[in-house]
Structure 1
Amino acid sequence: MTERIVVWHRDDLRTADNAALAAASRDGTPCPVFVADPAFYDERGLACDARIEFLFECLADLREQYRDLGSDLAILHGHSVERLRELLTPGARGSATDHTRLYVNRGVPTADGLARDETVLGWRGTEAFGEDGIVREGRSRDGWSDQCEAYFEADRHPTPDSLPTNPIPSDCTLDDLRAEYDIESAKERVPRGGRTPGLRRLDRFVDTIHEYPSAVSRPAKAEQHCSRLSAYLKFGALSIREVYQRVQSEAVDGRGREMFTSRLFWNRHYRQKLADWPEATERSINPVFRSLHRQDHDPDLVAAWREGRTGFPMVDAAMRALVETGFINFRMRSLVATFYSYVLREWWKPGADFLYSHLIDADPGINYEQWQAQAGLVGVHPIRVYNPAKQAREYDAEGEFVRRYVPELAPLPDDHLPRPEKTPLAVQQESGVEIGEDYPYPVVDYERRASEARELMARHHDRAQEALYSDAELLARASLSRRRRREASSDDEQSRSDQTSLGEF
């Protein structure tokens, strides 16, 4: 009898290009397992029901992949460390007595998951595979882009032709988990999870990638014409390497392919930053900003931001779209983050948590590292206080996005949608829209608060720089890539635009 090897799936919900599965198939009998850990489903996980449902769809698809190969995916419920220890304990339910080992792909855990991983990876018989473009030993910045490109270009791990029966039984179903945690997604137009839908979406995007440059920054177009692959990458239904290789080999060469390929590198870049410092989800990178606005909490302003009733239509449309669909493009993520941090003067962490909880594609490295960058908490990024009216004029000139998500403003002429509070009374009466009744006046004076925010950050600048350059480890943690440093030193509009172009998959 060949040795049984538990293959622990986490954010690698596929049988293709899966290092742990390929190795287990070579070395013994793979026993694929997914552990539904309560930490993901309760309030600690900050996961909306729609993201959990997307995960369940990925798991259902993964089970079909295994069944097509002759095996099955065992779904277990409980704390990961305890359930995995049971599997490796002779005589326990579902365990094997023939020296069961455990294979797992490394992933990039947050600080909460780091202790769990250190425990499991420290067990005798556990083997971890870190072939994902992330450097985990030594200095991650030395030749990072070259080794990341080498990963993208390397051959993918083969999918097994067939597999033996999985001896580990499931102890729950996906319906059991839905009932246990009262999962009922209320979001609309959420893509279906799983490898099969992900591959179909990849096929469409490869054929239409020429539309990507004109769609990526426009929130209404981004919903349909960006790749929308980020959720499939987040759960590993697709490997980022196979997406890269498909785009490189089959997409038409041009600006769209170039832009999208750079986003795949930025995806790895921000995962690398989280691997270097997992506490970025909890604490400001630069210690000078760790208490910034922490005592300035205004619950009414936060409620207006969360509910999309700030009186700034582009902000309100973005927040309503987030809550309604679980998606907004990266420019809108930047807008609502800077508005929350600079204009509303709120402590960054609850705002970042709110976005993370609602995004279907929520990736901790991208969400929290980018929020900190947008909120000026690093000390190396240019301070950019996005102007909601300017964003509306430039990226929603015909009001498609605002009218879709703020329908009470739909009758207003296009020219008045960026600043409805300035609409003449005669136009309000003619349109049947009364500002202050049908739609609120702005909750704050944007121009004054934006100016004060720039002054505040300027006062902190010298101390922030001193903190960075007196601590080599902190400087490395906060540093930009070589490319990003070149862009930050340039004043042209294209460079400034590129600085905010991560994550629009």
Structure 2
Amino acid sequence: MSPDILVWHRDDLRLRDNPALAAAAADGDAHPLFVFDPHFYRSSRVCDSRLAFLHECLDELADAYERRGGDLAYRHGDPREIINDLLAEGVVDRVYLNATTTAGYARQRDTALVDRPEVQVFSDDAIVRTGDSREGWQEQAEAYFEDDRHDPPETVAGNVASTTDIESITTEYDLSPTKRRQYRGGCASARERLADFADAIGDYVGGISAPAKAERRTSHLSAYFKFGCLSLREAYQCVDERGDGRAVDMFTSRLYWNRHFTQKLADNPAATERAVNPVFRGMNRKRHDPELAAAWKRGETGFPMVDASMRALEETGWLNFRMRAMCASFFTYILRCWWKEGADWFYRHLIDADPAINYQQWQMQSGLVGVHPLRIYNPHKQVRENDPDGAFIKKYVPELEDLPATFLDDPSKAPLSVQENHDVNIGKDYPYPVVDFEQRREEARETWAALDDRAKEALTDPKIRRRASLSSRHDDREQRDESEGQATLDDFSS
């Protein structure tokens, strides 16, 4: 008699290229399950729109199982208790799940389950979880992307009973999504988006840094990767089939960066809570200004590129990398605020919020690692270089819509006659800059320079050095400017 195998879905909401599901179907009868965990529905770090995206992913996953003769079971509660009960009651004989890399509560929850003898974890994701992650990481990552994908099962049993449904969960937690999202969640939607992006891959070049272009020309696959509607391997192979070329190299390098940051979180789960380099722990906490932090969150700092980015984040749940980096740099260096509050704000509002990428990018952009050159983005310069016609700013900061683009890098310098002629009153309709950028930038450089020797000394500790960077060759490549070129496999070598 075939064993009944529970397949616990978490961030792998797909049938294609799903190692745990493929193994369960091969070894016995697969019974898929998703558990609505109250911890995440009550968390202040998860917005309703991200949960709505999750529910769309589950809708499509359930449809895919139904087409194969099975059902996706839904349960509500602590997954540890639910899965332990299913095993104890003999409803299922084994539990298969895919390895994931996370931190905090989710890591503690999963660790409590994987030690059971009935639980088997599948780690086909390029992440090294034992030993030295630097040893052969490049080869392992490359093998992952090049290997054959796991075929979806033709039939699925799915006999575990559901005790709730999406509508009940939505009602119980009073979910009210408000963000204006461009794409629907789900594996079918992910593959459609991937195909459209691959067909227009040439547009990717020159469409990354400028936020208005990025809204149209980047892949917008990150949320699908976050929920596992699409494996990185499937995306890599789909785009790689387009042949060689700068656009293909640019995109596939970002898939390697995804694995790179995930590896770093696997090496150091505390990176979501505290600075990688101990010299910078507590940086800015004592001088953190709640009023400046609140102005940043509202998009009312008087720096239009920062404000447009923050409003876009809250309105859409997405922001291109260059603007994410600029906002983080501004929050830490210029406003002198504590990085963790800013990172948590981003994590709450991003539909594609990935703890590995979000928190470690924040640490890099906030100068908390100690292996990257100090980089303080100039929001005035970012307007001139990446939004010269003001398309992005005027879209998200409508109070500046009639102001000539010439003055959008610093509206406070617009002559009163220009303000009057264009019906804009700086100081009333739109705020003056909340701080002096040039002064704050120089002071930040002095502050970090004073700690540079101590930070480098801390990195002589092999454990800290390992957490600070995966690459042992050119650590400053992690901070490479997009305009200067793209990462290659050599950047990840040990």
TM-score, normalised on structure 2? 0.96
Give distance in 2, aligned partners of 1:121 and 1:387: 47
Aligned to 1:225: 217
Aligned to 1:359: 350
Alpha-carbon distance, 1:43 to partner = 1.9
Alpha-carbon distance, 1:308 to partner = 0.3
What's the CA shift string for 1:366-423, capped at 9, x where partnerless? 0000100000000111111100000010000110000000011011111100100000
Change (3 A) 1:68 1:489: closer
Per mean C-alpha deviation after superposition, the further-off stretch among 290-299 and 367-376 is: 290-299
Aligned to 1:296: 287
Say whether 1:154 aligns with 2:154.
no
Give distance in 2, aligned partners of 1:493 and 1:61: 35
Considering only aligned residues, what root-mean-square deviation do their CA atoms show, in Å? 1.7
Aligned to 1:472: 462
Change (3 A) 1:496 1:385: farther
Say whether 1:485 aligns with 2:478.
no
What's the CA shift string for 1:47-95, capped at 9, x where partnerless? 111110000000010001100111110011001101111111126xxx2
> Which residue identity lines up with residue 6 of structure 2 in the other structure?
V
Q: Counterparts in 2 of 1:98-177, with a 5 A limit?
A: 100-164=93-157, 166-177=158-169
Q: Counterpart of 1:33 in 2: which secondary structure?
A: strand
Q: Counterpart of 1:5 in 2: which secondary structure?
A: strand
Give distance in 2, aligned partners of 1:486 and 1:122: 38
Q: Is the contact between residue 74 and residue 165 of structure 2 (CA under 8 Å) also seen in structure 1?
A: yes
Aligned to 1:388: 379
Aligned to 1:12: 12
Give distance in 2, aligned partners of 1:139 and 1:147: 12
Q: Is the contact between residue 16 and residue 152 of structure 2 (CA under 8 Å) also seen in structure 1?
A: yes
Q: Determine which of 327, 335, 349 is the counterpart of 1:344.
A: 335
What's the CA shift string for 1:126-161, capped at 9, x where partnerless? 100000011111100112111101010001111111
Change (3 A) 1:493 1:242: closer
Q: Counterpart of 2:287 in 1: which secondary structure?
A: coil
Give distance in 1, aligned partners of 2:470 and 2:387: 30
Alpha-carbon distance, 1:121 to partner = 0.5
Percent of residue pairs bearing the same amino acid type: 52
Give distance in 2, aligned partners of 1:330 and 1:8: 32
Q: Counterpart of 1:138 in 2: which secondary structure?
A: coil
Q: How many residues align?
A: 489
Alpha-carbon distance, 1:463 to partner = 0.7
Say whether 1:236 aligns with 2:235.
no
Q: Is the contact between residue 50 and residue 190 of structure 1 (CA under 8 Å) also seen in structure 2?
A: no
Aligned to 1:425: 416
Give distance in 2, aligned partners of 1:494 and 1:405: 25
Q: Counterpart of 2:297 in 1: which secondary structure?
A: helix
Aligned to 1:62: 61
Aligned to 1:319: 310
Change (3 A) 1:497 1:391: farther
What's the CA shift string for 1:351-376, capped at 9, x where partnerless? 00000000000000000001000000
Give distance in 1, aligned partners of 2:38 and 2:137: 35
Alpha-carbon distance, 1:186 to partner = 0.5
Per mean C-alpha deviation after superposition, the further-off stretch among 109-118 and 16-25 is: 109-118
Give distance in 2, aligned partners of 1:119 and 1:402: 47
Q: Is the contact between residue 334 and residue 441 of structure 2 (CA under 8 Å) also seen in structure 1?
A: yes
Q: Is the contact between residue 6 and residue 103 of structure 1 (CA under 8 Å) also seen in structure 2?
A: yes
Give distance in 2, aligned partners of 1:498 and 1:354: 28
Give distance in 1, aligned partners of 2:486 and 2:70: 48
Give distance in 1, aligned partners of 2:70 and 2:139: 38
Aligned to 1:189: 181
Give distance in 2, aligned partners of 1:279 and 1:72: 37
Per mean C-alpha deviation after superposition, the further-off stretch among 308-317 and 219-228 is: 219-228
Change (3 A) 1:5 1:343: same
Change (3 A) 1:271 1:493: closer
Alpha-carbon distance, 1:493 to partner = 8.4
Q: Counterparts in 2 of 1:195-210, with a 5 A limit?
A: 195-210=187-202
Change (3 A) 1:462 1:138: same
Q: Is the contact between residue 382 and residue 488 of structure 1 (CA under 8 Å) also seen in structure 2?
A: no
Alpha-carbon distance, 1:112 to partner = 2.2
Aligned to 1:2: 2
Change (3 A) 1:487 1:43: closer
> Which residue identity lines up with residue 120 of structure 2 in the other structure?
E
Say whether 1:33 aligns with 2:30.
no
Q: Is the contact between residue 209 and residue 482 of structure 2 (CA under 8 Å) also seen in structure 1?
A: no
Q: Counterpart of 1:88 in 2: which secondary structure?
A: helix
Give distance in 2, aligned partners of 1:32 and 1:252: 37
Alpha-carbon distance, 1:497 to partner = 8.0
Alpha-carbon distance, 1:114 to partner = 2.1
Give distance in 2, aligned partners of 1:488 and 1:259: 14
Q: Counterpart of 1:8 in 2: which secondary structure?
A: strand
Q: Counterpart of 1:427 in 2: which secondary structure?
A: helix
Aligned to 2:451: 460
Q: Determine which of 296, 301, 306 is the counterpart of 1:305.
A: 296
Aligned to 1:211: 203
Change (3 A) 1:234 1:78: same
Give distance in 1, aligned partners of 2:266 and 2:477: 24
Alpha-carbon distance, 1:18 to partner = 0.5
Give distance in 1, aligned partners of 2:483 and 2:32: 47
Give distance in 2, aligned partners of 1:439 and 1:268: 41
Q: Determine which of 434, 446, 457 is the counterpart of 1:443.
A: 434
Give distance in 1, aligned partners of 2:324 and 2:478: 20
Say whether 1:268 aligns with 2:268.
no
Alpha-carbon distance, 1:486 to partner = 6.4
Give distance in 2, aligned partners of 1:73 and 1:400: 44
> Which residue identity lines up with residue 301 of structure 2 in the other structure?
T
Q: Is the contact between residue 7 and residue 30 of structure 2 (CA under 8 Å) also seen in structure 1?
A: yes
Give distance in 2, aligned partners of 1:402 and 1:379: 33
Q: Counterpart of 1:214 in 2: which secondary structure?
A: coil
